[in-house]
Amino acid sequence: MTLIASFIGVDSKFPKPKPASIYIVSDSRISWGDNANFDYGRKVFGCKNSPDIFGYCGDVLFPSIVLNQIVEIADQGLLFETHWTCQQKFQAIVDKLIQIFKKYPAEVENITANSLQIIYASRDENQNFFCHKIEWQKNTNKWTGSEIKFQDHSDKLFVLGSGRTEFLEKFKAYAESENQKTSRAVFHCFTDTLSNIKDKYCGGAPQLVGLYRINNAKFFGIINDNKRYLHGIQVDDLLNLNNVEWRNELFEVCDGITMKRKNNAQRQPNPLLH
């Protein structure tokens, strides 16, 4: 199920436009058919020691277990060589997924959903960004991978999950708004879609991970309905709320204590809602 999207932020101030950031944003709902749902499922991941981030949709159990393991072995230097290209890291991830999946108990009825999709984004040593989709389909029992090419402006990349159709329909208006071709337009569309979504299999707070030109995975706290969330879990009454960077539904940088836009932070109004 799920609604998950990747998007790129392009800096137009360079001699020519150049990507400056990449993000993966997801909802937090896990559903068991029409019987029950759980709005605190983590769906985005990232490495502390390398510029690699992930998100998933479709099947829940396998990726929620294995992506944690892949991140950990990567952070311990047991999956990538430091000089590897993004394509080499992508292939190592696919190989590891296939290796582990072969041990998965296929004899357990309905242990996997009909499909599994993983978004993988990375950055190389020359500050070039990449975004891949890794996919498994039950009807073929095959793994495939694809890379998306970037536009010369900020834009959505992969949009996946049962909420995809609603997002893409709403994005038509955002693509024509005064915020067109900006990363905030994609995030505005995502939070707007999730807040008003008809698909009952999507819900919970947004969760966000990203990469900039320097450093490794950056996890963002999200202020949603006047509450604080990290990885889909509500967090409150702590002394260290500003240990993470907080964003609201407008993609504005906020103070973790007051939950208000920081005084020196750029306003990011949504022209379609305000």
What pLDDT band is residue 29 in, cutting at 50, 70 and 90? Answer: very high
Contact indicator for 201, 4 with CB cutoff of 8 Å: no
- Closest to 249 (Cα-Cα) out of 273, 233, 231: 273
The CA distance from 243 to 43, in Å, is 21
What is residue 202's predicted lDDT score, i.e. its pLDDT? 97
Q: Using the predicted structure, report yes or no on whether residue 262 has a pLDDT greater than 90.
A: yes
pLDDT at 4: 99
Phi first, then psi, for residue 159 (nearest 5°) are: -125, 120
Beta-carbon contacts of residue 221 (< 8 Å; ≥ 6 apart): 228, 229, 230, 235, 241, 244, 245, 246, 247, 256
* Per-residue pLDDT, 167: 99
Percent of the chain scored above 90 by pLDDT? Answer: 90
pLDDT of residue 14: 72
The string of pLDDT tens digits covering residues 93-148 is 999 999 999 999 977 767 788 999 999 999 999 999 999 999 999 999 999 999 99
Distance CA 144, CA 129 (A): 20
Q: What is the mean pLDDT of residues 69-88?
A: 96
Going by pLDDT thresholds of 50, 70 and 90, the confidence category of residue 158 is very high
What pLDDT is attached to residue 224? 97
Dist CA 259 CA 246 (whole Å): 8
Q: What is the pLDDT of residue 112?
A: 85
Cβ atoms < 10 Å from Cβ of 118: 27
**Dihedral sign computed on CA atoms, order 223, 8, 166, 53:** negative
Predicted confidence band of residue 159 (pLDDT cuts 50, 70, 90) = very high
pLDDT at 200 over 70: yes
Give the tens place of pLDDT for each residue, 41-57: 999 999 999 999 999 99
Domain ranges (residues) in the chain: 4-254
- The reported pLDDT for the residue numbered 108 is 73
Residue-level pLDDT at 274: 66
Q: Rounded to an integer, what distance in angstroms lies between the CA atom of residue 23 and that of residue 109? A: 35
Looking at domain 4-254, which of 3.40.50.300, 3.30.70.2740, 3.10.20.600, 3.60.20.10 is its CATH number? 3.60.20.10
